[in-house]
Amino acid sequence: MQETIVLGAGMVGVSIAYHLAERGHSVTLVDRRAPGQETSFGNAGLIQREAVRPHPFPRDLANMWRVLPNRSIDIRYRAGAMFSAAEPLLQYWRNSAPEAFAKIVPEYASLIVHCTAEHERMFIAAGAQDLIRKDGWLQIFRTASVFEAEQAHAADIHERFGVEYEVLDREALHRLEPNLGDAIIGAIHWTNSWSVSDPGALVQAYARAFEARGGRVLQAEAQDLVETAAGWRLDTDQGPIDGANVVLATGPWSNHWLAKLGYDMPLFHMRGYHMHYEAADGATLHYAFLDHEKGYLLSPKRAGLRLTTGAELNTLEAPPRTGQLEAAEAEVRTIFPLGSRREPNAWKGARPCMGDMKPVIGPAPGRDNLWLAFGHGHQGFTLGPITGRVVGEMMAGETPTVDMTPFRADRFS
């Protein structure tokens, strides 16, 4: 039986550990916290079958002027952090140009198209169906020209990638969400995407399914990774663990491990915040909605109405800057009767993003039995289970379900 260590118990690491246990590996899943307590806990909980286009930087002048004063809700930056991540940011900027972006979309989509089917296999195995809703989510609009442009995109991705949607005018939207204000003129309802009422609980359910297949969860801080004659040794604050194989699924913390191993890959962080709220005046919200022209997302969760912010370009360690959340909250209050906050402090996390917008999934260049799976950016919660499947297939020497060439780590060599 192959002894395999998976470091990182977010959605990505837990899904990999589950698939490896299914294939008969003896797996130890290591995390300093219990499974699903970091980025995979605090996200918006959408399983985004519609997300076949990653998120480019704005490159048109109007949008650049809009973002520059650093007061917009969808994207903010800290100048110092821009310097420290200059190379990956520059790559992301170049890849946001129309020609480069057009090449990335079908590659990204090749993973996304599997997201719901792969989650479904896992949540049935985990008995976690009660956490999933399959009735989609809403992208809402305020301006006719923007709404029309996004409908054209929707028609395109329906045609090319099987994304399902319905266009709702103001009246149709009002029938679904009677408490949304009149500033909203309509919505695109993404009907084959799903939502999760408690993202952290779903990761924990997947971790329990992994343990039921013989896997072991070890709560420990990993400190070093050393190549040995028999494979690898992971030094932790609970002692060393030996394995024939190691998978690094350390999400936003992956730069630390890349530096230790001598790799240079363009990973940077798009931080985000969340806060839960009451609904005021007996208002109800059935669907998650993205306020497209403002750039925040509000979704009904077990813990309350979860408001999540767009991107903050900042270092992982910098202290929280909650202006973006406050601006988003003020904006929601203009279109929905939001009540009081449910927590004293905002949750903060970081999307692990690569300069070419695609995750790294595959063997570590120049090393045996070391595998990398990180950099899933805005869609790591969506992409965990398909990542688990393809890593299992590649480690067994099988042809993976998806052509993994675009995601190989040696593309940066």
Which residue number, 185 or 218, has a Cβ lying nearer to ligand FAD? 218
Q: Quick one: which of 5, 16, 19, 48 contacts ligand FAD (CB under 6 A)?
A: 48
Which residue number, 231 or 310, has a Cβ lying nearer to ligand FAD? 310
Q: Rule CB under 6 A: say whether 349 interacts with ligand FAD.
A: yes
52 CB-side CA count, 13 A = 25
Q: Rule CB under 6 A: say whether 9 interacts with ligand FAD.
A: yes
Q: Quick one: which of 351, 358, 385, 404 contacts ligand FAD (CB under 6 A)?
A: 351
Shortest distance, position 145 Cβ to ligand FAD, whole Å? 27
Q: Rule CB under 6 A: say whether 33 interacts with ligand FAD.
A: yes
Q: Rule CB under 6 A: say whether 116 interacts with ligand FAD.
A: no
Q: Is the CB of residue 4 less than 8 Å from the CB of residue 30?
A: no
Tokens of 343: 């927590």
Shortest distance, position 392 Cβ to ligand FAD, whole Å? 16
Q: Quick one: which of 46, 207, 298, 391 contacts ligand FAD (CB under 6 A)?
A: 46
Q: Rule CB under 6 A: say whether 374 interacts with ligand FAD.
A: yes
Which residue number, 199 or 363, has a Cβ lying nearer to ligand FAD? 199
Q: Rule CB under 6 A: say whether 4 interacts with ligand FAD.
A: no
Q: Is the CB of residue 309 less than 8 Å from the CB of residue 316?
A: no
Q: Quote the CA–CA distance of 93 and 44 in Å, as a whole number.
A: 25
3-state secondary structure at position 154: helix
Q: Rule CB under 6 A: say whether 10 interacts with ligand FAD.
A: yes
Q: Quick one: which of 19, 21, 27, 43 contacts ligand FAD (CB under 6 A)?
A: 43
Q: Quote the CA–CA distance of 385 and 406 in Å, as a whole number.
A: 18
Q: Quote the CA–CA distance of 139 and 290 in Å, as a whole number.
A: 5
Site for ligand FAD in 207-226 (CB under 6 A): 221-222
Q: Quick one: which of 110, 116, 255, 308 contacts ligand FAD (CB under 6 A)?
A: 308
Tell me the residue type at 364: A
Number of residues that bind ligand FAD (CB under 6 A): 40
Tell me the three-class secondary structure of 69-133, residue by residue. CCCCCCEEECHHHHHHCHHHHHHHHHHCCHHHHHHHHHHHHHHHCCHHHHHHHHHHHCCCHHHEE
Q: Rule CB under 6 A: say whether 12 interacts with ligand FAD.
A: yes
Shortest distance, position 278 Cβ to ligand FAD, whole Å? 20
Q: Rule CB under 6 A: say whether 136 interacts with ligand FAD.
A: no
Q: Quote the CA–CA distance of 206 and 36 in Å, as a whole number.
A: 9
Q: Rule CB under 6 A: say whether 249 interacts with ligand FAD.
A: yes
3-state secondary structure at position 11: helix
H or E stretch including 267?
A: strand 267-279
Q: DSSP readout, 350-392?
A: EEEEETTSS-EEEEPTT-TTEEEEE--GGGHHHHHHHHHHHHH
Sole window of 16-24, 86-94, 157-165, 249-257 interacting with ligand FAD (rule: CB under 6 A): 249-257
* 388 φ, ψ (degrees, to nearest 5): -60, -45
Sole window of 31-39, 163-171, 183-191, 331-339 interacting with ligand FAD (rule: CB under 6 A): 31-39
Site residues for ligand FAD per CB under 6 A: 8-13, 30-33, 37-40, 43-46, 48, 221-222, 249-253, 272, 274, 308, 349, 351-352, 374, 376-382
